[in-house]
């Protein structure tokens, strides 16, 4: 349990660093560290497949692309646009209001007993695969079609339009 | 029991660490010897007999060179880049089995640091992290050539990871397991996976050249276009760390290929040998066989380096996206069809 609190502390620390660092590249590096702490949390929950996929997809692929784009844009501290004071004041007020709402909402929350999973090995690859392809086959296939659509859409958007280019 | 387990794992980790370091060090020697051999030269022969002390001399040189951090560079990330590259390259060997269970002091000891049941995916994750060292180092150098190298490294790794993953999926259809231990045991004797997945192996081999940034895919450091790519600004031991991580990556990916496709520690006639030599010395022969396979792969990496010229960048991307990925998908489909037919028969 103490390990859980330690890792959660790290997650929150790194997420805050994402927001508070001035340099965008540092932000992305902190975000990578945040995802790494998530991976540890998944392992603590015995969800090995989820842990390793989070590791590969978020840390290994998506964040590499984030870093890639940031490095290409070469954002510097000097070139970052300064916000006017009015926007800063408005931002502080809006953020404070959200904080009050959240604190009020957590006070209303009723904590329930920790519910143990019927099968604690559900996160292992074999069990997860069986559940996905038996009980949840339709949602699983639908979400994969959604992803495929997004993929094709991205390629279509990035493709040059031949008609407009030829004049 | 617990103490014995801890001692056993600690010793295994230390031995593996030392072995990885020394193999990486002697790969640098071997590389120069192989290059010399292929070009009809002698190669390093001054330090020790056959130049065997050359890695030590090189290491000493790296340590005592002046460390330069360019004034425009981001100091912390400039140091973090090579450190990260070296750190990540060591992680892979944790899940690889180097032999059968060996009996020592009345205990059966597995020659594998840990057998997690997502071993292959773990290796995949570690490989995909490897690019951060290059990217961070290249960006922090504050040099446009370094940045170009870093960007090439990132896009190359991402492109070839896809084909690599697809080629592994076809293998998983055959093995039905993600654990290296199980995959190694399935290939008992001569039932090596290369016999059922030759195309998958070819794709995996090409992709591992790209993932380790070796010639003909060393576009991130391509000295004819980019001076030294991401390591242009590096000198002394930080440069050495990058070079070392490349050799360690080569060792790890050779070991992965040996276990996944070439039977790992299995060899024809291993049962007879195990019966003759008993449960202590028999598996040890298997370990020797495993390392022989790894060194054979490392030699192959070097052979290719001194034979095949470097690709142009567009050729590299074309090969990855237009040749390897469709081939890997076709391989998955064919494998799935064949498995279904065999199961029905």
User: How high is the ipTM of this complex?
Assistant: 0.78
Contacts of B132 (CB under 8 A, 6+ apart): A32, A64, A67, B84, B85, B88
Query: Which pLDDT score is estimated for B312?
Result: 82
pLDDT for A12 equals 92
As for how many domains chain B has, the answer is: 1
Instruction: Answer with the one of A45, A76, A107 that is the final residue of a domain.
Output: A76
CA nearest B76 in A: which residue? A26
- The distance of A18 to chain B (nearest Cα, Å) reads 16
- Does residue A5 sit in the same domain as residue A69? yes
Contact call for A59 and B128, based on CB within 8 A: yes
Q: Taking a C-beta distance cutoff of 8 angstroms, is the pair B193, B99 a contact?
A: no
pLDDT band, residue A167 (cuts 50/70/90): very low
> Which of A55, A65, A125 is facing B178, going by the closest CB pair?
A125
Q: Which of A66, A69, A4 is nearest to A41 (CA)?
A: A4
* Phi/psi at B103 (5° precision): -95, 120
Whether residue A72 is contained in a domain is answered as yes
Q: Which residues of A touch B124 (CB under 8 A)?
A: 56, 60
Residue A167 belongs to a domain: no
* Range(s) of the domain holding residue A152: 124-160
**Mean pLDDT of the residues in chain A:** 82
Give the residue from B249, B148, B259 showing the smallest Cα distance to B207: B249
Do residues A125 and A48 make contact, with C-beta atoms less than 8 angstroms apart? yes
Q: For chain B, which residues score pLDDT lower than 50?
A: none
User: Does a structural domain hold residue A136?
Assistant: yes
A21: CATH: 1.20.120.1200
Distances (CA, A) of B324 to B80, B179, B199, B202, B331: 33, 25, 10, 10, 10
Per the structure, the complete domain to which residue B213 belongs is given by 2-344
**A29 contacts in B (CB within 8 Å)?**
136
What is residue B1's predicted lDDT score, i.e. its pLDDT?
59
For chain B, give the longest Cα–Cα distance.
70
Contact between chains at B135 and A60 (C-beta distance less than 8 A): no
**Chain B residues touching A48 at Cβ < 8 A:** 116-118
Residue A70 falls inside a structural domain: yes
Total domains in the fold of chain A: 2
Minimum-distance CB partner of B118 among A71, A74, A125: A125
- pLDDT tens digit string along A39-94? 888 888 888 888 888 888 888 888 888 888 887 776 655 556 667 788 888 989 99
pLDDT tens, position by position, B97-141: 887 777 777 777 777 777 778 888 888 888 888 888 888 888 888
State both tokens at B147. 């940045």
Instruction: Name chain A contacts of B179, Cβ cutoff 8 Å.
Output: none
For B212-231, letters b (16+ CB in 10 Å) and e give bbbbbbbbbbbeeebbbbbb
Distance CA B22, CA B248 (A): 10
SS3 B104: strand
Secondary structure class of B108 (helix, strand, coil): strand
Q: CA of A105, closest CA in chain B: separation in Å?
A: 38
């Amino acid at each position: 349990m103490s390990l859980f609190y330690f890792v959660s502390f790290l997650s929150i620390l790194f997420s805050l660093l994402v927001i508070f660092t001035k340099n965008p590249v540092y932000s992305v590096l902190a975000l990578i560290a945040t995802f790494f702490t998530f991976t540890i949390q998944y392992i603590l929950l015995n969800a090995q497949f989820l842990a390793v996929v989070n590791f590969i997809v978020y840390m290994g692929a998506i964040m590499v692309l984030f870093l890639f784009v940031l490095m290409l844009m070469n954002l510097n501290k000097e070139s970052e646009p300064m916000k006017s004071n009015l926007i800063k004041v408005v931002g502080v007020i809006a953020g404070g209001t959200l904080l009050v709402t959240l604190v009020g909402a957590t006070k209303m929350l009723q904590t329930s007993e920790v519910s143990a999973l019927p099968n604690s090995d559900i996160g292992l690859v074999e069990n997860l695969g069986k559940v996905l392809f038996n009980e949840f086959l339709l949602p699983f296939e639908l979400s994969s079609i959604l992803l495929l659509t997004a993929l094709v859409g991205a390629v279509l958007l990035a493709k040059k339009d031949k008609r407009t280019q030829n004049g | 029991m617990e103490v014995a387990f801890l001692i056993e794992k600690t010793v295994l980790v230390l031995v593996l660490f030392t072995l990885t370091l020394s193999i990486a060090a002697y790969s640098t020697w071997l590389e120069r010897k192989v290059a010399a051999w292929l070009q009809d030269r002698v190669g390093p022969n001054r330090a020790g007999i056959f130049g065997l002390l050359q890695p030590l001399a090189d290491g000493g040189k790296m340590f005592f060179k002046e460390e330069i951090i360019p004034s425009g560079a981001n100091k912390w990330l400039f140091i973090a880049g090579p450190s990260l590259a070296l750190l990540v390259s060591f992680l892979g060997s944790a899940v690889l089995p180097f032999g059968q269970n060996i009996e020592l002091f009345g205990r059966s000891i597995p020659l594998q640091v840990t057998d997690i049941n997502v071993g292959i995916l773990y290796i995949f994750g570690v490989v995909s992290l490897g690019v951060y060292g290059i990217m961070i180092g290249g960006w922090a150098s504050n040099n446009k050539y370094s940045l170009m190298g870093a960007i090439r490294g990132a896009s190359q790794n991402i492109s070839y990871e896809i084909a690599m993953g697809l080629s592994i999926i076809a293998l998983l259809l055959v093995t039905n397991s993600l654990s290296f231990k199980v995959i190694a045991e399935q290939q008992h004797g001569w039932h090596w996976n290369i016999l059922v997945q030759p195309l998958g192996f070819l794709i995996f081999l090409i992709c591992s050249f790209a993932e380790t940034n070796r010639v003909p895919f060393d576009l991130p450091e391509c000295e004819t276009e980019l001076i030294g790519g991401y390591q242009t600004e590096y000198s002394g031991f930080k440069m050495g760390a990058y070079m070392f991580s490349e050799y360690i990556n080569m060792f790890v990916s050779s070991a992965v290929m040996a276990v996944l496709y070439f039977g790992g520690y299995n060899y024809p006639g291993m049962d007879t040998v195990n019966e003759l030599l008993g449960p202590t010395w028999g598996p040890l022969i298997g370990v020797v066989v495993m390392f022989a396979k790894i060194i054979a792969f490392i030699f192959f990496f070097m052979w290719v380096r001194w034979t095949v010229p470097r690709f142009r960048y567009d050729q590299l991307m074309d090969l990855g996206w237009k040749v390897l990925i469709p081939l890997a998908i076709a391989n998955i489909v064919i494998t799935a069809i064949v498995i279904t037919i065999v199961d029905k028969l």
